[in-house]
Structure 1
């Protein structure tokens, strides 16, 4: 199995960690396999060596998500 290649360029936000949780959800700018930076939302362990499944968004997709979310958030 090939090793996952990534570089966390910037951690934009860390969500509160659930009690007894191993992973903390973070919104980061990450470069995957040298394909340029993207916005990334997933769980990471403390030293960023292990991760959960997540989503990767372009800048346009993130803007659209924020716009859509503003329409239905209470």
Structure 2
């Protein structure tokens, strides 16, 4: 499997921390030198290892925000 290149462009926030020290984070990440996307996944403390996660374009993140705001307003 080829190496995956990534750069955390901006750390937006930590949602939770596990007992193992890994943190679930929302970041802006550039994967393989592409345009940065919103990224939600668990990271090791040194950001050298990561779990599976999801990436969202600006448009997808805006739609998710609308959905989350609607849930909050219930």
TM-score when scaled to structure 1?
A: 0.89
Name stretches of at least 5 consecutive residues in structure 2 with no aligned partner: none
CA shift for structure 1 position 35: 1.2
Paired residues for 1:31-50 under 5 Å: 31-50=30-49
TM-score when scaled to structure 2?
A: 0.89
Q: Give the paired residue count.
A: 73
What secondary structure sits across from 1:56 in the alignment? strand
Paired residues for 1:1-74 under 5 Å: 1-18=1-18, 20-73=19-72
Name stretches of at least 5 consecutive residues in structure 1 with no aligned partner: none
What secondary structure sits across from 2:60 in the alignment? helix
Structure 1 residue ranges (4+ consecutive) displaced by more than 6 angstroms after TM superposition: none
Root-mean-square deviation (CA, aligned residues, Å) is: 1.2
What secondary structure sits across from 1:16 in the alignment? strand
